[in-house]
């Protein structure tokens, strides 16, 4: 392992590759900040640029773009509540209220430090454990994945406020239903496409995310103009400092969230989104009552937890990619495509066949995190100026970036047309106080959920017994049931015991 | 699978419909600015449909400028300063990345582009 790390450092620490890390992070941050463009589009945009490089340099650049885009996504989540990626949705829960209350500078600083700490902690664990982790992931079967995803979905509903529990569940089901649109991959049947070619590949995730978050938020800004006065509250940009008490408050949060995020990122199919939601939920439940009340209204803990977790999960999601050749998320799926384009087959043999690529990527994560901190923290005051742009200009620009971002993924104007429709639906749902995040998560996991269920059923010859035959599956299933029933029990108890 | 999801969704919807508590939903009725939102929606639909026809470079400044007008921005200098550079910078960025944005079907038909 030591020689591996040394090989990685030797590969990364050339002038050219260091420049690539810096360039990747910088470009990634800018693209990620634009609402509508997340890491997936950022990496997809950069792949053609990397064809001229050798495999390790290309991967170093793309990894830099990945972190940069995730960080940039957090920035736009905090400043305009327009998460470019599902992984930063949880960041906007507390980051946006903080920015609205005039503490955008502090929110961005906390996000930068939490990302840095999360990414660095995860990179260190990854260095030590990557070779061994492959075995753990390998023992997971389709049935386990299926139940694990069920658990992820239940957790989102369970962590929502009590009066929104059923709304969150309903939205989850809505998301799952939307995921069934398109060609059913295992049967080859078209479902709910209404005979349109444009729907054969299903609904684009970026489209859905942009329509339900960025576009809907822009429309809500117009719909409820009294929010505008707080919107334009002068931002204390100079206040980038975090005092010692605040550091002491978020330090344990960051370390817990980093560990959690990393291990969730390792599980294929989970990744940054679940990690950030889980970390947010866990920290809310762990926080003392006074601090818990601040969650959703601008809590530093609520901001630090998902930020640390999603960066740690980004690092963790490289583990299944590098060791198993299975992408853990949409982003790593794009990276998988890039690796194959370089002529490298990711999988258990990567460590043997191309150790320089394997270790260079891991070591570049550490450098990438340093660059992000060095690059982003000084730039924060300039980024915060985005808030000073008046609403009359901001709203059309957000609408433009959302729509063009969707167009850039598919190059199909039909997606833009559908997006407007979805945004209108989303605004109506928002007016009914339905949470949007469960819908997105249900949508992302829907395809994989169905896929793994199918495979599990096929493996067990059409029996549902796979749900309880293996201890791992059974334990996960029991946790899911508890998570689903607990809020119900609590709700009934509060209704009947305290009249 | 779709049947399972539909069943689960219906159960939740039923519970929501039948549950008596609705103070949260009805408590915050404010005056909603419906007109500008509707016009923005119409504008976005128009943009989505006109995009390939007019091309990125024509449709985008028009879209941004009329969006700002609809929201009450009346200073022409501000509208121009905000809408044109966004279009130009974005087009330049995409051109640098070798991405061809819709040039506009109309201009081919008229003969301005070939």
CB A483 within 8 A of CB A282: no
Contact between B5 and A45 using a beta-carbon 8 Å cutoff:
no
Q: How far is B111 from chain A (nearest CA, A)?
A: 23
Q: CA quadruple B108, B112, B113, B114: dihedral positive or negative?
A: positive
**ipTM > 0.90 for the complex:** no
Low-confidence ranges of chain B (pLDDT < 50): 23-29
CB A329 within 8 A of CB A317: yes
Q: Would you state the pLDDT for residue B65?
A: 84
CB A444 within 8 A of CB A86: yes
Bigger pLDDT: A184 vs A328: A184
Q: Render pLDDT for A428-452 as a digit per residue (tens, 0 to 9).
A: 887 877 777 677 767 767 777 787 7
Helix A39-50 / helix A15-33 crossing angle, nearest 10 deg: 140
Q: Render pLDDT for A84-108 as a digit per residue (tens, 0 to 9).
A: 566 677 787 887 787 777 777 778 7
**Exposure string (b/e) for A305-317, b if CB count within 10 Å is 16 or more?**
bbbbbbbbbbbbb
Per-residue confidence at A82, pLDDT binned at 50, 70, 90? Answer: low
- Name the DSSP class of B103: -
**Would you tell me which residues 404-463 of chain A have a C-beta closer than 8 angstroms to some C-beta of chain B?**
404, 407-408, 413, 416-417, 419-420, 423-424, 427, 431-433, 450, 453
Partners of residue B97 in chain A, C-beta under 8 Å = 45-46, 48-49
Per-residue confidence at A349, pLDDT binned at 50, 70, 90? Answer: low
pTM (predicted TM-score): 0.63
CA closest to A31 among chain B residues: B93
């Amino acid at each position: 392992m030591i020689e591996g790390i040394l090989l990685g450092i030797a590969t990364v620490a050339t002038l050219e590759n260091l420049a690539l890390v810096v360039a990747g992070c910088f470009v990634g941050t800018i693209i990620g900040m634009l609402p509508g463009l997340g890491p997936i589009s950022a990496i997809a945009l950069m792949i053609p640029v990397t064809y001229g490089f050798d495999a390790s340099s290309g991967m170093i650049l793309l990894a830099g773009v990945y972190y940069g885009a995730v960080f940039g996504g957090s920035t736009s989540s905090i400043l305009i509540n327009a998460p470019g990626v599902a992984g930063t949705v949880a960041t906007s829960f507390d980051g946006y209220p903080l920015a609205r209350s005039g503490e955008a500078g502090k929110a961005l600083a906390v996000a930068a430090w939490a990302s840095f700490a999360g990414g660095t902690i995860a990179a260190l664990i990854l260095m030590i454990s990557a070779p061994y982790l492959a075995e753990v992931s390998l023992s997971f079967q389709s049935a386990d994945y299926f139940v694990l995803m069920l658990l992820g979905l239940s957790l989102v509903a369970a962590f929502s406020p009590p009066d929104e529990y059923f709304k969150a569940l309903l939205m989850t089901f809505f998301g799952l239903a939307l995921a069934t649109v398109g060609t059913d991959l295992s049967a080859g049947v078209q479902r709910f496409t209404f005979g349109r070619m444009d729907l054969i590949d299903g609904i684009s995730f970026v489209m859905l995310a942009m329509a339900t978050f960025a576009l809907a938020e822009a429309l809500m800004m117009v719909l409820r103009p009294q929010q505008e006065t707080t919107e334009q509250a002068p931002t204390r940009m100079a206040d980038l400092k975090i005092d010692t008490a605040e550091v002491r408050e978020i330090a344990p949060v960051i370390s817990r969230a980093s560990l959690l995020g990393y291990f969730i990122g390792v599980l294929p199919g989970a990744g940054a989104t679940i990690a950030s939601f889980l970390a947010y939920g866990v920290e809310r439940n762990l926080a003392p009552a006074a601090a818990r009340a601040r969650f959703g209204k601008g809590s530093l803990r609520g901001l630090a937890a998902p930020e640390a977790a999603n960066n740690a999960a980004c690092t963790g999601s490289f583990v299944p990619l590098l060791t198993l050749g299975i992408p853990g998320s949409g982003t790593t799926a794009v990276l998988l495509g890039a690796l194959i384009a370089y002529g490298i087959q990711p999988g258990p043999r990567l460590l043997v066949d191309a150790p320089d690529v394997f270790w260079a990527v891991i070591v570049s994560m550490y450098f990438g995190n340093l660059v992000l901190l060095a690059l982003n923290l000084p730039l924060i005051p300039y980024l915060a100026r985005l808030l000073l742009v008046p609403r009359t200009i901001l709203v059309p620009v957000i609408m433009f970036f959302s729509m063009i971002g969707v167009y850039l993924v598919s190059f199909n104007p039909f997606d833009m047309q559908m997006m407007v429709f979805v945004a209108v639906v989303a605004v109506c749902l928002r007016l009914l106080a339905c949470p949007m995040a469960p819908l997105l998560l249900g949508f992302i996991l829907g395809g994989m959920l169905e896929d793994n269920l199918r495979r599990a059923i096929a493996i067990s010859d059409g029996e549902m017994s796979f749900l309880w035959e293996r201890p791992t599956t059974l334990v996960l299933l029991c946790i899911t049931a508890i998570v689903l029933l607990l809020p119900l029990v609590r709700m009934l108890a509060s209704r009947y015991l305290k009249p | 699978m779709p049947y399972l999801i539909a069943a689960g969704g219906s159960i939740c919807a039923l519970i929501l419909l039948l549950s008596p508590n609705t103070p949260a939903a009805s408590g915050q009725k404010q005056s909603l600015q419906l007109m500008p939102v509707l016009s923005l929606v119409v504008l976005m639909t128009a943009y989505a449909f006109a995009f390939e026809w007019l091309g990125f470079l024509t449709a985008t400044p028009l879209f941004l400028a009329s969006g700002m007008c609809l929201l009450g921005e009346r200073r022409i200098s501000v509208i121009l300063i905000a809408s044109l550079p966004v279009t130009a910078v974005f087009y330049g960025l995409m051109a640098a990345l070798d991405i061809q944005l819709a040039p506009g079907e109309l201009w081919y038909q008229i003969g301005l582009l070939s």
